A and B are shown apart, each in its own frame.
Chain A
Amino acid sequence: MNSSEPAIVAENLAKSYRRAQAVVDVSLRVEAGEAVGVVGVNGAGKTTTVEMIAGLRVPDHGRIRVLGLDPRRDRAQLRQVLGVQLQQAYLHHALRVTELVDLYRSFYPDPRSTDELLDMVELTDQRRTRFEKLSGGQQQRLSIALAIAGRPRVVILDELTTGLDPKARRRMWGTVERLSSEGVTVLLVSHFMEEVERLCDRVAMLDAGRVVALDTPAALRTLARTATLDDAFVALTGRQLEEDAA
């Protein structure tokens, strides 16, 4: 990929499930090294959008390139450089934390060390614990460790901190800030404005399967003539975000 090319390009994406139109028209460009947040209420099309970008779903319409690669056609290449944390942690329930980390590390040519990964998500003390015995927050943190095991150049984090307590949430923010400082491109799906405002260079507000606004947090506040990003979201979409998350 040319260094001046965007890391992620999504153009006019559309996706429907039977009669429901999950994504109507989403276009998004994420520059290399940039962190972009995707916010919206439940059913806004956030997860469907990022799953299409990750190659898990085929769009009905539109074009996607991640680091210049087509997520479906260039699957083998893209998996080397793309890390994905899915909304729910789907892992072998009876395996221990280190066993899972070592398994996922083995998929990549130059993975981060097990100790580094466990340290990054603060699961060192749980290294011998089975996945099924971890708390929801710990399972989420392990899922993030696995997403970044292969030193991805682009990482997609879907609902990074949903279900985490405030302390754990701030710890995860530190992990994302570290990824950003390493030049990793981050696409972050979130329900929390405080989170995207702190971690993201730009924020895409989705509503009813469309991008309503995409800009820096400051520009979005200016656009909506509001003091906070929460209020800007309400002004631009007519919906409450945090209530929906709860």
Chain B
Amino acid sequence: MNTLVEARRPGLRSLLTLIGCEAKMVVRDTAGLVVPLCLPLLIMLTSASSASRTVVDSGRTALELYVLPLVFTMVIAIVGIINMPSFLAYYRRSGILRRLGVTPASPAMVLAAQAIVSILQSLLGIAAALIVAILAFNAGAPANLGTAVGVVALAMAAMYSTGMIVAAVAPTPNSAVAIGLVAFFVLGALGGMFGGRDSLPEPLAEIGGWLPFGAAVEALSSAWAGAAVSAANLIGLGATVVVGAVVASLLFRWE
């Protein structure tokens, strides 16, 4: 029996190198970078001018209470539900995960690197939208900044969990994009992306408040207004994290 070989996993230096490589892959995939960063920004710009002059409640404008929460959620959802699963599906389809499987790198390390790069990508998109909103349209910071940060973190976890389900069931990179887009638009439509949940039939509006997109928009809006975040929103986001993790762990295939 061999006792001379030490079971050693690659350390932090290796993870950082992998994160650097994943980030370069994202940057070099122009469409993958431009869509999540620029599309929400464009949507904000088209409505920010009038929304920034419409005071809704307690001196807060529609830009702060509706548009920015929606834009933040869109950035997180595009990266988590569309981009990240398509990368994982491509890695699986092209055999990259299989190639890494014969090195000391663990599958968990690849997932961690992907998640970190996706988080950085989302934060970049959120920061870009926030900076433009503050500098060009005099938007103010959320009244409950800590709550807003917490909601963003929970929304990221929920969207990535949803994305992991997409990555688990999609057999090819193209199907990952297709499934991701359908999931994004369904969640977005029920979450108020096309004109607010108030315009939806009552049962759909109710369901939308529990699903991750609508829950994230509403919770961020509450944080901006300084109001308490609804328990339904938090439960919806938390439940999505749990369900996504369980389903993905059961269905995800490395090859």
Residues of A near any B CB (own CB < 8 A): 1, 54-56, 67-69, 74, 76-82, 84, 86, 88-95, 99-100, 102-104, 106-109, 150
Give Cα A108–Cα B104 distance, bound, in whole angstroms.
7
A106 B2 Cβ-Cβ under 8 A: no
Tell me which of A77, A84, A88 contacts B6 (CB under 8 A): A77
A-B contact list, 11 entries, CB within 8 Å? A1-B4, A74-B2, A78-B5, A84-B102, A89-B99, A91-B99, A94-B29, A100-B21, A103-B17, A106-B14, A106-B18
Chain B residues in 8 Å Cβ range of A89: 99
Give Cα A76–Cα B103 distance, bound, in whole angstroms.
9
Secondary structure call for the A interface: loop
A106 B13 Cβ-Cβ under 8 A: yes
B9 CB within 8 Å of chain A: yes
Give the number of residues in B that approach A within 8 Å (Cβ atoms): 28
Chain B residues in 8 Å Cβ range of A1: 2, 4
- Among B102-156, those with CB < 8 Å from A are 102-105
B209 to chain A minimum Cβ distance, whole angstroms, is 40
B2 A56 Cβ-Cβ under 8 A: no
Closest to B9 in A: A76
Tell me which of B2, B24, B103 contacts A67 (CB under 8 A): B2
Residues of B near any A CB (own CB < 8 A): 1-2, 4-10, 13-14, 17-18, 21, 24-25, 28-29, 94-96, 98-99, 101-105
B103 A104 Cβ-Cβ under 8 A: yes
Chain A residues in 8 Å Cβ range of B104: 76, 79-80, 107-108, 150
Give Cα A84–Cα B94 distance, bound, in whole angstroms.
17
Chain A residues in 8 Å Cβ range of B96: 90-92
Query: Which 3 residue pairs are nearest across A and B when measured between Cβ atoms?
Result: A90-B95, A68-B2, A90-B99
B6 A86 Cβ-Cβ under 8 A: no
Chain B residues in 8 Å Cβ range of A99: 21, 24
B2 A92 Cβ-Cβ under 8 A: no
